[in-house]
Structure 1
């Protein structure tokens, strides 16, 4: 219902000035002693409730107003006379969704495991393998590039795009038979079909093209001791900023780092840069001076799936070397 309120309010304010408006609850308000609302040229008014005040009246329809329908509003003025206004519930113009990618710019280790596609609207599901194509530098398609698992965010706007682990992990059958998805030192192109539609049936309308550069493979665990912390000043709501020496999983970063004072977690809002190399935290209230700790989820991954506990690929002959710490200290200065 709320999607239509702004449209209806706009039409009312333009046509009837201050005489009629629609409030945030979808109720019709008018200056006068009474109001009746009719659908089109119907002889019987809509069912609903009417609440009167000293100089205005509010009508709440029993059923939501219908988009595209014309309504007749009869208002009784202070002198007892009735005036009639008409309005049309206009349908909004269809807006095509757009898509972006993280991390961006997209420089990946050759053994990268996943990317994230971000859409501005919820998208149709179950079709992503037919809508996404990965091409090599020579223009040839990389067939079987993606894992068939389709993982969407709850709002249907973010797709986790898995590069097939069986091809990205060295020594397994798919890797040996078909080769890795990404070729080290080469450029690749990710294409999103223009025909991919939102859940409302509106297509992207234009093919989205993203360049992917593949660097060296990465089998090293993230190391927080190489991160740079910029501490805020006391009495401000300046962000706590952490800069990484490599891109980390942008989705996991939203919840993997926690600012803590004593035993309590500091409340605030997290922001992750598009390149996944910078994490920022803005507190709800101003910082107080003193020592704080940044707690790190040891499962936090880099783009190749290595986390603080060990690398994604385990060498049985060489024990995994985990990160040296899962906490970092910082001090809020005066």
Structure 2
């Protein structure tokens, strides 16, 4: 059944022979939708509802044209104690006027409409990265993408790491005064507590790792997180996964596989990684240079659960050979980069490199 978003609507107009007022809405007894997938709710203090359609009907159009000789909107009724809810069979239309006819026990007409801004669907989680069904037990961070800007400083309330028994690990994530949002607050970076990842330090000996290989978990974004625009609340989202063996070896570009494009075409260049890499860092970690050292522009996409990197050039490939420049701080999902492992001893030397360069010869266009 559809979730409902409400607000009180304040209207007071007299209509000949009818009682049209805001009394019910003002008292909170009539609750009207403010979005396209909303419902209409009538709360009766005496609880004597009778047949739901006898006390509540919704019509298309303005109140002055309602309601004799017109058919009410199709939909379903739900009765819960003293409350009757009408679920329209179809989503409401923005800017369309609707009239609610109630017998409470006096006859009332109340008009409302869904405005352009409020008619948008509820906010939702559209993706969580890493996205694989199996992710390393020492995964460092999760990126949670929302369909629209969200209200900040609520992550500890709504985001949970839950095990197969439904128990939440409340110490799994780092807690920051300032959450790690992108500029428009549609992407939140949720960082695992490194003390639960690094062996033998901080909270690891006391609490143990947050993820254990072979066990099943879910990242749960609980129902009710309000957006930043008008407080509309997101539905619950759950992404299950199983913890796979930890990544404790430095990344190595020699283990990457390349699908080389043809010269003078718009064929994509595709890299298949040896492990899942950080989804966000992958957008800008690899630069392509032509034979003259100029940057080749194009569109990057990351797929196959962060194991595939795909680049489509803006213009046909004009060099028979290209260089791929990989930022040495490009991390896998466990926070390991080409300079150092996240979980290493203090004696370990950090590799003194800033980038890795890979030369690729393009395929002849005649292939």
Could you say which residue in structure 1 is the equivalent of 2:158?
A: 131
Moved more, 289-298 or 96-105: 96-105
1:231 deviation in Å? 1.2
Does structure 2 conserve the Cα–Cα contact (< 8 Å) formed by 1:190 and 1:209? yes
Between the aligned partners of 2:115 and 2:350, the Cα distance in structure 1 is: 62
Between the aligned partners of 1:269 and 1:294, the Cα distance in structure 2 is: 15
Superposed CA offset, 1:181-205 (max 9, x none): 111210012211110111121111x
Following TM superposition, the consecutive aligned residue runs of length 4 or more in structure 1 with deviations greater than 3 angstroms are 316-323
Could you say which residue in structure 2 is the equivalent of 1:111?
A: 138
Equivalent residue runs for 1:91-240 within 5 Å: 91-92=116-117, 93-99=119-125, 100-149=127-176, 150-200=179-229, 201-204=231-234, 206-240=235-269
Q: What is the DSSP-based 3-state SS (H/G/I as helix, E as strand, rest coil) of the residue aligned with 2:312? A: strand
1:136 deviation in Å? 1.6
TM-score if structure 1 supplies the norm length? Answer: 0.70
Could you say which residue in structure 2 is the equivalent of 1:17?
A: none
Between the aligned partners of 2:352 and 2:211, the Cα distance in structure 1 is: 26
Does structure 2 conserve the Cα–Cα contact (< 8 Å) formed by 1:289 and 1:333? no
CA 1:318–1:147 in 2, change beyond 3 Å: closer, same or farther? Answer: closer
Could you say which residue in structure 2 is the equivalent of 1:293?
A: 323
Task: Say how many residue pairs are matched.
Answer: 250
Q: CA RMSD in A?
A: 2.5
Gaps of 5+ in 2: 1-93, 96-112
Could you say which residue in structure 1 is the equivalent of 2:277?
A: 248
TM-score if structure 2 supplies the norm length? Answer: 0.64
Superposed CA offset, 1:131-176 (max 9, x none): 0111122222112111113211112111111111111111112111
Between the aligned partners of 2:284 and 2:314, the Cα distance in structure 1 is: 16
Residue number among 276, 286, 291 corresponding to 2:306 in the alignment:
276
Superposed CA offset, 1:278-320 (max 9, x none): 1111111111241111100000011111100111122346656
Does structure 2 conserve the Cα–Cα contact (< 8 Å) formed by 1:137 and 1:188? yes
The structure with the greater share of residues assigned to helix is 1
Does structure 1 conserve the Cα–Cα contact (< 8 Å) formed by 2:197 and 2:343? no
